[in-house]
A and B are shown apart, each in its own frame.
Chain A
Amino acid sequence: MSPGLSYVVVKSHALMADLLNPEQMRALAEQESLEGFIEYLAGTPYGRISVDTEGDASLALEKVFYQKFIERMMAIVDLAPAKIGDFLQSYYYLRFEVINLKRIIRGKYSGIPVSQIVESLIPITPYRVKNYEDLVEAETFQDSVRQLEGTPFASLVASLDLSEKYDALWPVEIALSHLNTGSIFKSLERLPQRDRGLVRRIVQAEADVENFLIAVKQRGARDRAHSPKEMFPATYGITLEMLREAISADDIRSVIQGLNPPYNEILVPLYEGDVALIRSRIRQHIYDIARKGRTVNDFGFNVVMAYLVFSEIEKDDLVGIAWGKTQGIPAEDILKYLAIPESV
């Protein structure tokens, strides 16, 4: 039985102390080497991490950071009241499962070895599918998708026609993203009305920016551009009309300037063609939403959600730093794309 919301809130407050602060994150990015990074991390709540020196250390570290985040998330889910626990499980597990399904389908589509596909999966137990092994072992990517019939991902099978029509994988990937967003909104119903706003703002911001970036990508294609209705099955703050304009307009600046805040600020790096910077800006924006959510209600669900949002952004930043350190990338080039050091 759950000890109740108050306990999870107090626990979340306490666990926030385990999160890395912007100074620590900056110090990690400024370490001279991967060894220095691991050594510094040993002095944080992450403790000493042993990484196999053979193979790609950044991939091993990525797995460690994912594992740590999943542990943190599960610790909260186990303590949370049933409705909040269900929602959080659905929110995170479904998201990770969608990422895993995308990786399986991509792997099957290009015919890479099964072991490589398995290696790329996020280490979670299957959430809405029976197991990943059957999907990975399927003959073709269409077979993998068809195996999803009878699961909440059954609607993906319909996207195969479009995939065949364009001889591409994006219809399946878009259908998966759409299904993920739709499921999150549906699972929001489990939360009390007052707690829904924070999650809705986060999910909408993510989906809007993703939609806009897809539209920008279609600009180069112009005549070959796919139908906006097919590309954007769901739109939120950035409407389908705005996305159409983004595809067809000669000057993307005027389209971005015409968007409402915060999008007209988040998407500014597009002027210089630095798309990766938009992702760190959207992460900063989500970090900000969670922080503001806490100021509105520091004794309820918002605290729990903020803890998990901060924790996930920390994981993403650490994955980026770890890769940068294995490649010997200068600290300033890494810091530019991190969310936490810039969020203060």
Chain B
Amino acid sequence: MNPHRPHGNAQVDLDREAETETTETGQKVLLEIAEDARRLKNRYSKETVVPEGGE
């Protein structure tokens, strides 16, 4: 715990590095996203419509 922080139960770590950044993994993630979006594209928008916005 950092003694200089006024609120000890929360701190962020800006030095935390992303864990896996190989191009290969990146391509795999992007391919999965593209595939998922194509699979859902005909129904996802309808399934997520909010009849009347809130607030």
The answer to whether A binds B is: no
Q: Which residues of A come within 8 Å of B, CB atoms?
A: none
